[in-house]
Structure 1
Amino acid sequence: MDLTAAFDLLGEAGATALGGLIIGMIFGFMAQRSRFCLRAAVIEFARGSFGPKLSVWLLAFGIAVAGVQIFISAGWLSVGEARQLTGAGSISGALIGGAMFGCGMVLARGCASRLLVLSANGNLRSLLSGLIFAVVAQASLHGALAPVRDELAGAWTVTGIGNLNLLSALGLGQGTGVVLGLFFLATAIFFAARNKLTPRLWIGALGAGMAVVLGWWLTWTLSYQTFEPTSVESMSFTGPSADVLMLVLNPFESWDFDIGLVPGVFLGSFLAALLGRELKLEGFQGGASMRRYIIGAVLMGFGGMLAGGCAVGAGVTGGSIFALTAWLALSAMWAGAALTDYLVDRRGLEADAAHPRHAPAP
């Protein structure tokens, strides 16, 4: 695909940002329609149910992995220069950061992408949590929390060409990636059919996953057509949220895929909620609720930056290219979220059931 006309009209940076905006809008629209959320999927699974929320997440994950691996096998995409597969990978960062992120998304009642989607629908709880998430992510990248992040990330690292790609590290060929991707997708289709997902959920989940595939393809296409270096990447929200936050201070300093992505997701979700008549202002129910959301956002901001990505950035985007640290981070997110749900929410529900609180007599 020749993007010369777009470069002539908008410049390389502008065209790249526009690409991020469009793909972000696709993801935001589809994620809002499907209620795509890793937190909801983990809670459903941890409570012993293979229900619709888990099915939606599996559909998005399955189509992302299958699509990316098919694109690579067909020669339409190369991810050898992707951040997740080059340089040193932090095992400790993936495990510790992933667990922190998983804990945080349960407390904040949504991962980073879900908070952004809900913010566009009028959820003020998610808006505040998302802003705190972005501030903490920026502090973890270049601010006061950066030394702590570096110390934890450096505790256990792995280097070497091929060591960060699970397929290469295990001596498996590219065809294995396609087979595994199709297996994940077939499993997702089975559970989605068993749960009788509505067409809206099917389309939304598959569309959200395909946005990840399109993101990889677009940035790779840009990388060999632009004179300026362009990162080969796709959907992620930890680093991009921090970048958008800094854009407020330096509006013309840097325009890239990430800068267009975050506002694109917000706009796409807003349009979906507008069409579905789901715009609604929602606030906090009390001080305890606010503290919970703030703590969750802080854990996600630091944990996501330490892990190298959020539930989408590491879990789906990194997982789709079989990056070692991404799969470790995703596993840690599941474990951290399930444990937090049990300790914080499920035990509270069990205590309330055992000792019901009766309303005082009028």
Structure 2
Amino acid sequence: MDLALIADRFGDKWTLLIGGAIIGALFGAFAQQSRFCLRAAAIEFSRGRIGAKMAIWLIVFATAIAGTMALAAQGLFTSTEARQLASPQSLSGAAIGGLIFGTGMVLARGCSSRLLVLSATGNLRALLSGLVFAVVAQASLHGFLAPVRDALAAPLTTLSIGSNDLLVLSGIPDQLAFALVVTGLLASLALAAWRKIGIWKTVAAFAVGACIPLAWWFTNAMTAVAFEPVRLEALSFTGPSANTLMLFLSEPGSMIDFDVGLVPGVFIGAFLAALVTGELELQGFEGGDSMRRYLAGAALMGFGGMLAGGCAVGAGVTGASIFALTAWVTLFAIWIAAATTDWVIDRKWPARHAKLDALTVGTPQP
């Protein structure tokens, strides 16, 4: 594929949009088929079980990192030119934003990418939650929540430690890191086989992870052929969701780039996958309490993802694939918050109310 010819034919911006849409469609289709979901994996792990959901997430995670490192080793990608490593990042924002995002992820029963995939299959809860997520993300980027985001991001940045590259800071050689990642990938494949998730789901999870290095390769290749500067990036859903929302509120053609092709691409890919496999089904809210929970979670994810500089995919997989310290901080914060929120909201609180209800029922009435 000669990107230079395609860019000459369609223009740089439209080539970026088409590439984003194609990669997004692949991600959406395979994410829908594999049931890739960080929330599901985090809850499964927090409840003391390492099962199919954890295996799928680990395959995606390890594949993304191994593929990205292989690209860099072949000279097809330079990670230091990515935003996460090329400019100072907020450590305080990563930690606080990750905690907020992880809390919202459990409340909304899915991260931002999972909501997008589910909405394409007919889940109206996910669709409305995704819209709230995008609105709050935009408000956190350029709206009334931006000053709050800036205040939380300012106290501690990577300038204070001199780098955001985890391998540089730790002194771990690239070769050793790659060997560890490949070992992790093989272990995740063994776990998938042990948990009997099936060949198709395993392949689909592998394909989801491969979308990350594919996006790195594509945007890196576009930097060499585009006339205008192109941002080196892979997959994320906080900023792109906000940009896609603004696309419908702006002058036509004013916001054409990789990001605004990605989100519709994921939706289309997930829809087609669900259509082919007969998994399209309209689903709505189950009452006012459910609706409040989903929308509150979506709002928390919108602000937390923008504060952290990435979502469960943008920081938790894409940023981690280039060993950006802030991405790993965000990822760990998401896991901690998800486990805590699940324990408090979905396990401890219902158990307490059930106990109180049982005591009330058993109390003699006057």
Give per-residue Cα distances to partners, 1:277-336, cap 9 Å, x unaligned. 011110001000000011100100000000000000000000011000000000000000
What TM-score comes out, normalization by structure 2 length?
0.95
Deviation at 1:8, TM superposition (A): 2.1
Deviation at 1:67, TM superposition (A): 0.8
- 1:74 is aligned to 74
Amino acid at match of 1:196: K
Q: Is the 8 A contact 1:69 1:177 kept in 2?
A: no
- 2:284 is aligned to 283
Deviation at 1:255, TM superposition (A): 1.0
- 1:257 is aligned to 258
Percent of aligned pairs sharing the same letter: 54
Aligned residues: 359
Inter-partner Cα distance in structure 1 for 2:86 and 2:309: 13
Deviation at 1:81, TM superposition (A): 1.1
Question: In the TM superposition, what are the counterparts of 1:272-311 in structure 2 within 5 Å?
Answer: 272-311=273-312
Inter-partner Cα distance in structure 2 for 1:345 and 1:259: 35
Report SS of the residue matched to 1:224: helix
Amino acid at match of 1:174: D
Amino acid at match of 2:305: G
Amino acid at match of 2:329: L
Deviation at 1:172, TM superposition (A): 2.6
Inter-partner Cα distance in structure 2 for 1:239 and 1:215: 16
Question: In the TM superposition, what are the counterparts of 1:33-182 in structure 2 within 5 Å?
Answer: 33-159=33-159, 163-182=163-182
**Farther off after superposition, 242-251 or 174-183:** 174-183
Inter-partner Cα distance in structure 2 for 1:78 and 1:357: 61
Report SS of the residue matched to 2:81: coil
Q: Is the 8 A contact 1:87 1:160 kept in 2?
A: no
Report SS of the residue matched to 1:254: coil
5+ unaligned residues in a row in structure 1: which ranges?
A: none
Q: Is the 8 A contact 1:138 1:242 kept in 2?
A: yes
Inter-partner Cα distance in structure 1 for 2:157 and 2:257: 29
Give per-residue Cα distances to partners, 1:65-111, cap 9 Å, x unaligned. 11111111121211211011122111100000000000000000000
Give per-residue Cα distances to partners, 1:169-215, cap 9 Å, x unaligned. 22233223312321221221121121111122101111110011101
Give per-residue Cα distances to partners, 1:218-263, cap 9 Å, x unaligned. 1111111111111111010000000000000123112111110000
Q: Is the 8 A contact 1:23 1:264 kept in 2?
A: yes
Question: In the TM superposition, what are the counterparts of 1:210-289 in structure 2 within 5 Å?
Answer: 210-250=210-250, 251-289=252-290
Inter-partner Cα distance in structure 2 for 1:357 and 1:62: 46
Deviation at 1:351, TM superposition (A): 3.4
Q: Is the 8 A contact 2:7 2:225 kept in 1?
A: no
Q: Is the 8 A contact 1:88 1:160 kept in 2?
A: no
Q: Is the 8 A contact 2:116 2:267 kept in 1?
A: yes
- 1:18 is aligned to 18
- 2:335 is aligned to 334
Inter-partner Cα distance in structure 2 for 1:88 and 1:259: 25
Amino acid at match of 1:125: R
Inter-partner Cα distance in structure 2 for 1:286 and 1:341: 20
Amino acid at match of 1:61: F
Amino acid at match of 1:332: A
Q: Is the 8 A contact 1:42 1:54 kept in 2?
A: yes
Amino acid at match of 2:112: A
**Farther off after superposition, 85-94 or 306-315:** 85-94
Inter-partner Cα distance in structure 2 for 1:205 and 1:159: 36
Inter-partner Cα distance in structure 2 for 1:217 and 1:280: 35
Report SS of the residue matched to 1:235: coil
**Farther off after superposition, 188-197 or 330-339:** 188-197
**Farther off after superposition, 192-201 or 135-144:** 192-201
Inter-partner Cα distance in structure 2 for 1:176 and 1:258: 33
- 1:350 is aligned to 351
Q: Is the 8 A contact 2:189 2:202 kept in 1?
A: no
5+ unaligned residues in a row in structure 2: which ranges?
A: 362-366
Inter-partner Cα distance in structure 1 for 2:187 and 2:326: 23
Inter-partner Cα distance in structure 2 for 1:12 and 1:138: 25
**Farther off after superposition, 128-137 or 242-251:** 242-251
Q: Is the 8 A contact 2:101 2:311 kept in 1?
A: yes
- 1:6 is aligned to 6
Inter-partner Cα distance in structure 2 for 1:349 and 1:69: 44
- 1:313 is aligned to 314
